[in-house]
Amino acid sequence: MSTWHEYVQKTGKVPEWPYPVNYGQMNEITTDVLVIGGGVAGLQAAINAARMGVKVAVLERGHAKRSGSGGAGVDHWHGAVTNPCSKVTPLMYTNACYDSMQGWTGAHVRYIITKESWDTLRECEQMGIQIRDVKDEFKGAPFRDETSKLMFAYDYKNRHVIRVWGWNIKPKLYEQAVQLGVNIQNRMMPTALLTEGGKQGARVVGATAVNTHTGEFFVFKAKATVIATGGAGRLFTFEPEVTASSSMSDMNSAGVGQALGWKAGAEFVCMEASGQGRLSGHAYAPYSMGNTHNTYHGTPIVDADGKEVPWIDVFGNLLNTVDDRFLPHGKQDFILGEGIGIGPYLQQFRGNDLTHDLVEKIRKGEFKLPLYADFTRLSALERRCIFGMMVGNEGKTRIAIYDTLTKAGFDPDKDLFQAPVTMPEGYAHPNFWSTGVNTAPTVRMLGGGGFLVDWDLKTNLEGLYIGAGGNLFGGGCHGESHTTGRYAGKHAAAYAKTAPEPKIDKTQVNKEREFAYNATRQSKEGNGWKEINAAIARIMRDYCGRYKNATTLNLGLRLFNELKTAELATAYASNPHELGRLLECYSLVTLGELVMKSSLERKASNTILDFIRLDYPAMDPPEWNKLLPVRQEDDKVKVRSLPLDFHLKAPYAADFEENYQQHTTK
Amino acid sequence: MSEKSYMVPNPPTPNKAVTFNPDVCIGCNRCVEVCPTDVMMPNPEKKKQPIVVYPEECWYCGGCVEECPRPGAITMLHPTQQRISMNWKRKDTGELYRLGMNNPPPPNLRPPSGE
């Protein structure tokens, strides 16, 4: 007996909620630094703040031992350019990101990441994460350095992306945080940031939250706060029955951190940016099928008759060996690597790829479906590294893929691993399992916009810092989340050491408490959270999809108000779990409004942001080559304009290293 | 001979996400404790396996399986739509396999790198 259905039908009884429920019961926690979000970024923030001798509390939505997008593991670590084998410098890497994005990424955040990524990884090693081939399993491999025993991905010449055995990285961070005495509060759904006087734009002095096991209310009082939350996979599409198993962000990713910040008056940029929702759409279980991208980069692909698909370099020249797939060619500077939150890549930093006429050749019948990944064509070391080291340590692969498939008899030494069978266009990108072609173009995902921060990773609000991958303008993926979390945690601790005592506004607390339990007081006839979430996603797809104009955006905002005052206001939660999910729906609405309001401010279409305004169809007019930071003041949108290279303009120095040296904590 | 029928909602999709072996599970609830999305809840009866309440919220991180002190007590079960998609072909014989098939081939016992 495993499921609720079995239980009910065997016993004839509906089981009672297993935890004591005390809706609204007050708890108060006072701390120096509060970290909202206990994923890899949040625990790094907590650990590093605690090491500076301040009191730290973490407010976590799930359970911090294994939660968060990065909590499921990691197999390669980006931006480690200061490792002893790297031929790339922080400036080279930062410029490669900034130039590839044509300026539409926070280069100061990228620079901080590249300066400290390797140090952060070494600290993970001290916590017990394997980052070197200590057992000499891969001795002599072209991707291994024989002295340091480090192993590299994507670019075996320039050696700045490190392959790591990170399946247990989250439990190790958790152990460290517990050892340092961090007060970790699990199962917490945050509802608001507390500000001085309860005013939008004032100093942040803590947060309120509801426990989703007990329903109790928590007030966190803090001198400094770090937001370290993730993305919002449920904003544009909500069909967990089909898509939760294919997603790389779990159900808790509901834009909660962004919503908290927006309501408190924090400034955001590029929230109008979005892209087609590859990973949140109708994909296959991550890494579960033949492909040659990311973790599987370089794996030979053959057709149904065993004919191999050729590889080419970025100039279109055929590559003859597997090793060539991991090297820059011609005048290329270095290969930047995949999965760092960069959309387009300039030619000199792009990776090698399957031949670009594959789609055409499938249509003509030159390659016959289905395609397969043929690991047997790899050297024994590369094969073991891809399926055994990387698959086995990457997020959602150790149990879900390696353990499951090997127990079922799959053997990369003997078997061809089938790719999805889909439309020819589905093979245009080597990540076949994420099958963007199955996802309607209206289904979007947030695309690189986020909190606007300064060189301290501090927001415009006093006391509020950001450390994360998904919600930070200039953030990236797994390693970037660790590194920015660590940096933000240190700065928050430094601020907390001299900051005045926080003053909580009782009126704000009471208002939040009253609001938080609304759904428990409604009629049982009210809507449930899934019904509401599906409606939110519908509004976003229809009124803020790929094509929009001022009228659709304003209609979308109107419909959000309709939803808030009708179905959402009367929605019913029958237990603390449902209450948490309904409160997330409020966050999703707030985030949706932020995206729509940001979209209204950009009166121009933009290629890099994948942003199309039907009422301003001209693409990329130069006068709109600027950031448009937005924030709320008295619940009204305030917008200003900022040059793309603001991070090197007054009040900052004109040089990356000079700014970094002025702002880093030693 | 039929069991009593109940008015119950349709089984959720996916049906299970994880499944328990009651002979191995000791009902310690460590999987319940770490699940990021509360897919499982403790069984009202002490020392019994947890109950899967919200399988559609599972994102298949595998943390519950890693956390389990009794190997084999909990098994992750990909949704059928994913299991039916995970196919492979033995290169020298052309035999076709898939995750979840009847009469599967013998397991590949090689552990992941680092073990």
Provide ipTM, 2 decimals: 0.98
Nearest-angstrom CA–CA distance, A255 and A430 = 29
Q: Is the pLDDT of residue B2 over 80?
A: no
For the domain B18-98, what is the CATH code?
3.30.70.20
CB-based contact A418 B88, cutoff 8 Å: yes
Provide, as residue numbers in chain B, all residues whose Cβ is less than 8 Å from the Cβ of A372.
89
Q: Nearest Cβ partner of B89 from A372, A392, A404?
A: A372
pLDDT at residue A280, rounded to an integer: 58
Interface test with A, best of B60, B64, B78, B93 (most A CBs within 10 A): B60
Which is it for the CA torsion A511, A517, A522, A527, positive or negative?
A: positive
Provide, as residue numbers in chain B, all residues whose Cβ is less than 8 Å from the Cβ of A398.
62, 66, 112
Question: Which residues lie below 8 Å from residue A44, measured CB to CB, with a gap of 6+?
Answer: A120, A173, A467, A481, A482, A483, A485, A486, A489
Which residue type is seen at A62?
G
Q: How is the beta sheet containing A311-312 ordered, strand by strand?
A: A318-319, A311-312, A353-354
CB-based contact A250 B61, cutoff 8 Å: yes
Provide, as residue numbers in chain A, all residues whose Cβ is less than 8 Å from the Cβ of B85.
284-285, 288-289, 420
Question: Which residues lie below 8 Å from residue B5, measured CB to CB, with a gap of 6+?
Answer: none
Q: Nearest Cβ partner of A7 from B51, B54, B91?
A: B51
Instruction: Kindly report the backbone phi and psi dihedral angles of residue A375, in degrees, each rounded to the nearest multiple of 5, phi listed first.
Output: -70, -20
Tokens of A25: 């019961």
What is the nearest CA distance from B70 to chain A, expressed in angstroms?
Answer: 15
The domain ranges of chain A are 26-73+109-126+161-280+448-498, 294-309+355-438, 506-638
pLDDT at residue A434, rounded to an integer: 87
Q: Nearest Cβ partner of A399 from B15, B38, B76?
A: B76
What is the nearest CA distance from A233 to chain B, expressed in angstroms?
Answer: 12
Torsion of CA A439, A72, A115, A85, to 10 degrees: -100
Instruction: Kindly report the backbone phi and psi dihedral angles of residue A268, in degrees, each rounded to the nearest multiple of 5, phi listed first.
Output: -125, 155
CB-based contact B86 A376, cutoff 8 Å: no
Residue of B nearest to A131 (CA): B114
pLDDT at residue A279, rounded to an integer: 58
Q: Nearest Cβ partner of B44 from A15, A244, A384?
A: A15
C-alpha to C-alpha distances, A649 to A96, A97, A645, A656, nearest whole angstrom: 20, 19, 7, 10
CB-based contact A165 B113, cutoff 8 Å: yes
Nearest-angstrom CA–CA distance, A368 and A8 = 49
Please choose, from the candidates A97, A99, A109, A129, the residue with its C-alpha nearest in 3D space to the C-alpha of residue A338. A97
What is the nearest CA distance from A118 to chain B, expressed in angstroms?
Answer: 21
Torsion of CA B66, B72, B73, B76, to 10 degrees: 60
pLDDT at residue A7, rounded to an integer: 95
CB-based contact B114 A66, cutoff 8 Å: no
Question: What confidence tens digit (pLDDT) does each residue in B31-62 have?
Answer: 999 999 999 999 999 999 999 999 999 999 99
Nearest-angstrom CA–CA distance, B101 and A410 = 12
To which H or E segment does residue A498 belong? Answer: helix A478-498
Q: In degrees, to the nearest 5, what angle opens at C-alpha A13 toward C-alphas A10 and A18?
A: 110
C-alpha to C-alpha distances, A580 to A64, A212, A400, A594, nearest whole angstrom: 17, 6, 27, 21
CATH class name, domain A506-638? mainly alpha
In A267-388, which residue ranges form alpha helices assigned H by DSSP? 358-363, 380-386
Whether A26-73+109-126+161-280+448-498 shares its CATH topology with A506-638 is answered no
In A602-639, which residue ranges form alpha helices assigned H by DSSP? none
Please choose, from the candidates B9, B22, B75, the residue with its C-alpha nearest in 3D space to the C-alpha of residue A14. B9
Question: What confidence tens digit (pLDDT) does each residue in B89-109 have?
Answer: 999 999 999 999 999 999 999
Q: Is A429 exposed, middle or buried (0-12, 13-18, 19+ CB in 10 A)?
A: middle
CB-based contact A67 B88, cutoff 8 Å: no
Q: Residue holding tokens 């108000």?
A: A561
CB-based contact A137 B113, cutoff 8 Å: yes
CB-based contact A400 B34, cutoff 8 Å: no
CB-based contact B86 A285, cutoff 8 Å: yes
Q: Is A448 exposed, middle or buried (0-12, 13-18, 19+ CB in 10 A)?
A: buried
3-state SS assignment for residue A262: helix
Task: Tell me the CB-side half-sphere exposure of residue A632, using CA atoms within 13 A.
Answer: 18
Provide, as residue numbers in chain A, all residues whose Cβ is less than 8 Å from the Cβ of B109.
406
Count contacts between A and B (CB, < 8 Å): 214
CB-based contact A407 B107, cutoff 8 Å: yes
To which H or E segment does residue A209 belong? Answer: strand A204-211
CA-based max dimension of chain A:
72
Residue of A nearest to B66 (CA): A399
Provide, as residue numbers in chain B, all residues whose Cβ is less than 8 Å from the Cβ of A385.
113
C-alpha to C-alpha distances, A584 to A255, A428, A459, A642, nearest whole angstrom: 8, 36, 23, 31
State how beta strands A415-418 and B87-90 pair: antiparallel
Nearest-angstrom CA–CA distance, A133 and A120 = 18
C-alpha to C-alpha distances, B57 to A210, A595, B81, B114, nearest whole angstrom: 19, 25, 16, 31
CB-based contact A63 B36, cutoff 8 Å: yes
Nearest-angstrom CA–CA distance, A236 and A248 = 15
Q: Residue holding tokens 């005390």?
A: A22
pLDDT at residue A443, rounded to an integer: 81
Torsion of CA A329, A331, A336, A339, to 10 degrees: -60
Please choose, from the candidates A215, A211, A209, A210, the residue with its C-alpha nearest in 3D space to the C-alpha of residue A194. A209
Query: A250 pairs with which residues across the strands?
Result: none
What is the nearest CA distance from A14 to chain B, expressed in angstroms?
Answer: 10
Please choose, from the candidates A375, A590, A67, the residue with its C-alpha nearest in 3D space to the C-alpha of residue B59. A67
Where do the DSSP E strands lie in A111-168?
162-163
Burial A147-185 (b: 16+ CB within 10 A, else e): eeebbbbbbbebbbbbbbbbbbbbbbbbebbeeeebbbb
Provide, as residue numbers in chain A, all residues whose Cβ is less than 8 Å from the Cβ of B34.
63, 65-66
Q: Please answer whether residues A81 and A207 qualify as being in contact, where contact means their C-beta atoms are separated by less than 8 angstroms.
A: no
Nearest-angstrom CA–CA distance, A214 and A482 = 31
R_g of chain A, CA atoms, integer Å: 24
What is the nearest CA distance from A190 to chain B, expressed in angstroms?
Answer: 15
Provide, as residue numbers in chain A, all residues whose Cβ is less than 8 Å from the Cβ of B62.
72, 396, 398-400, 403
CB-based contact B61 A7, cutoff 8 Å: no
Residue B1's pLDDT band (boundaries 50, 70, 90)?
Answer: low
Give the residue ranges of chain A where pLDDT is below 50.
Answer: none
Q: Nearest Cβ partner of A392 from B53, B99, B113?
A: B113
Q: Please answer whether residues A409 and B97 qualify as being in contact, where contact means their C-beta atoms are separated by less than 8 angstroms.
A: yes
Query: A204 pairs with which residues across the strands?
Result: A195
Q: Please answer whether residues A110 and A100 qualify as being in contact, where contact means their C-beta atoms are separated by less than 8 angstroms.
A: no
Q: Please answer whether residues A411 and B106 qualify as being in contact, where contact means their C-beta atoms are separated by less than 8 angstroms.
A: no
Nearest-angstrom CA–CA distance, A514 and A40 = 32
Provide, as residue numbers in chain B, all residues whose Cβ is less than 8 Å from the Cβ of A414.
90-92
CATH superfamily for A26-73+109-126+161-280+448-498 is FAD/NAD(P)-binding domain (3.50.50.60)
